[in-house]
Structure 1
């Protein structure tokens, strides 16, 4: 068994041992998931992550993460793959196509929000020449989760926020009726308001077409 196969096996075995058949259907219903759950809540998954074998080869690591994600039978397998994908030793801009695949195939907020803020965001800061044009492209993409990513990828940037990029990505989705986009717009603006309240207030006032949801969220603490 290779190191990658051992990691995948350890994840699947560990999750199976932690499975709770009572919690599983409740978790699936809450997340409105077609993929079933094993019933392993976050504390259990965090504990499992600490026991997994360490992989130092980047290619082996990526192959294991992709195997867990693509072959997942249970949602927790994808949660673990998502956690493993954040290994800072291996995080670099050439992984953007992989994160894109996770966004499009995951297609739900529990995956996308972490990828946007904890994977795409750091890469935007480290390699803006590559990621910024991609976010501009995603802001008008046909996939709503790419669009949401473009809007919320700067969460936590505070004074380092590229407000021009934020404005363009929000404006591109201003009229979209999708709840997750409207919520994402409000979330991004609300967070930036903690650093630049005047900018956010002026931005909102200049856009009468901003949805009530986005407007309410953006101005929540102003």
Structure 2
């Protein structure tokens, strides 16, 4: 695909091999980096997305999937997420993309990928298709994969006053006893974000549940 070739060539051109090892170490990534800082990637994708617009939804989805699945460098997956998030293609988001998002969560398996997908991809779907996806998020909350569990907790980060507090409570309670750092951090983060809308609910939840010290500290940071 011409677009994919352009992405790979562009990342190679703007990458800094001297920075790549430090970026890989910081992210604790098995996949190598090209050494492309975020501002340079943002400038590159603006150009590439303007030069290679998609007029077909299936082709757009295929490009995202190919960038993700065949990535040799981590920045290729960042570009896949950038393509998903581009405002031009916002009308193409839909419930049928959830299996792709699930695949990206499981195979990405790290916070830099998962948090973006949870908050900006899965979250809007949960809001738009609540009756369908609330049970799915409850299922994810008890899934063996910790990144699906983290997603279930974080999927309402941007919901504000549309937050389903029953769903938030259920997903947190399902992971409450898990000692995993990323899950405990997610619980605190989700509660801290909801505290911006309903601090009383969050305080009551924190006082009536055996949160880990990390989760409680994060949840009540602004209290």
* TM-score, length-scaled by structure 2: 0.96
Flag as ranges the 4+ runs of structure 1 deviating above 4 A: none
User: 1:64 Cα deviation (Å)?
Assistant: 1.0
Paired position in structure 2 for 1:211: 212
Alignment of 1:107-186 (within 5 A): 107-186=109-188
Task: Tell me the C-alpha RMSD between the 2 structures.
Answer: 0.7
Paired position in structure 2 for 1:106: 108
User: 1:89 Cα deviation (Å)?
Assistant: 2.8
| Cα deviations by residue, 1:8-36 (Å, 9 ceiling, x for unpaired) | 01100100101101110010000000000
Paired position in structure 1 for 2:33: 37
Question: Is 1:49 equivalent to 2:50 in the alignment?
Answer: no
Distance across 2 between alignment mates of 1:178 and 1:119: 24
Larger relative helix fraction = 2
| Cα deviations by residue, 1:41-65 (Å, 9 ceiling, x for unpaired) | 1111111111121011011111111
Paired position in structure 1 for 2:68: 69
- Alignment partner for residue 14 of structure 1, among 10, 17, 21? 10
| Cα deviations by residue, 1:123-145 (Å, 9 ceiling, x for unpaired) | 11111122211101000000000
Paired position in structure 2 for 1:191: 193
User: 1:90 Cα deviation (Å)?
Assistant: 1.3
Distance across 1 between alignment mates of 2:29 and 2:72: 12
Q: 5+ unaligned residues in a row in structure 2: which ranges?
A: none
| Cα deviations by residue, 1:112-160 (Å, 9 ceiling, x for unpaired) | 0000000001111111122211101000000000000000110121111
